[in-house]
Each structure stands twice: as C-alpha cells, then as structure tokens.
C-alpha cells in the first residue's frame, strides 16, 4: 500500500509528458515536411474518388432508374 501511494505521489509530482516535451519539435517538423501537400493529396485520393463517384450516382437522372408497371389492382376495370 505504501509503495502504491509513493508511486502515485511520484506520478503526481512529475511534470507531464517529459518524453513528448523533448520530441514534440521533431514530430512537428516531420509532419510539416516540404512534401506535406503531396502526402495530403495522395492520402485523400481514395476518399475523393469515392465521393466523386457517389455524387455522380446521386445526381444522375438515369442510373438505376426505371418506370414501374402499374400494380394489377389499379389496372383492373
């Protein structure tokens, strides 16, 4: 119990995310590299293709459309 309390006290006293404070600038530099836009465009290519195709299907007046035959009950004299 004493060990647990001591560990918790140490954790509370420690400054948060020491490792990230050190590596954060390197992470940001690696993300915002000169090829950022290229990476972004390549990454979003599958999503753009999907959305483009679907919008074409949604607004197309002829794809997957048909004129239904009237039900028998409405045709009867």
Partner 1 sequence: MEANSSPLHRGPLIAAGILLGAGLGGFVDGIVLHQILQWHNMLSGKLPPNNLIDAKVNMYWDGVFHAAVWVMTALGLRLLWAVGHRRDVPWSGRTFFGSLLIGWGLFNVIEGIIDHEILGLHHVYEYTIRHLPADLAFLGFGLLLLLAGWALVRAGRTDTTPAAASH
Q: Among 2, 3, 16, 61, indicate the residue that binds partner 1 (CB under 8 A).
A: 61
Query: Does 34 contact partner 1 by CB under 8 A?
Result: no
Query: Does 66 contact partner 1 by CB under 8 A?
Result: yes
Q: Among 16, 26, 76, 77, indicate the residue that binds partner 1 (CB under 8 A).
A: 26
Query: Does 8 contact partner 1 by CB under 8 A?
Result: no
Q: How far apart are CA 44 and CA 47, in angstroms?
A: 5
Query: Does 16 contact partner 1 by CB under 8 A?
Result: no
- What's the angle, vertex CA 48, arms to CA 44 and CA 54, rounded to 5? 150
Q: Which stretch binds partner 1 (CB under 8 A): 1-9, 10-18, 22-30?
A: 22-30
Nearest to 43 by CA among 31, 26, 29: 31
- Answer yes or no: are the C-beta atoms of 45 and 51 closer than 8 Å: no
């Amino acid at each position: 119990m004493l060990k647990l309390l001591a560990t918790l006290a140490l954790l509370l006293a420690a400054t948060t995310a020491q490792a990230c404070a050190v590596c954060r600038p390197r992470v940001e530099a690696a993300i915002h590299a000169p090829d950022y836009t290229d990476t972004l465009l390549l990454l979003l290519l599958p999503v753009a293709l999907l959305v483009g195709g679907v919008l074409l299907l949604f607004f197309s007046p002829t794809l997957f459309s048909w004129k239904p035959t009237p039900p028998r009950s409405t045709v009867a004299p």
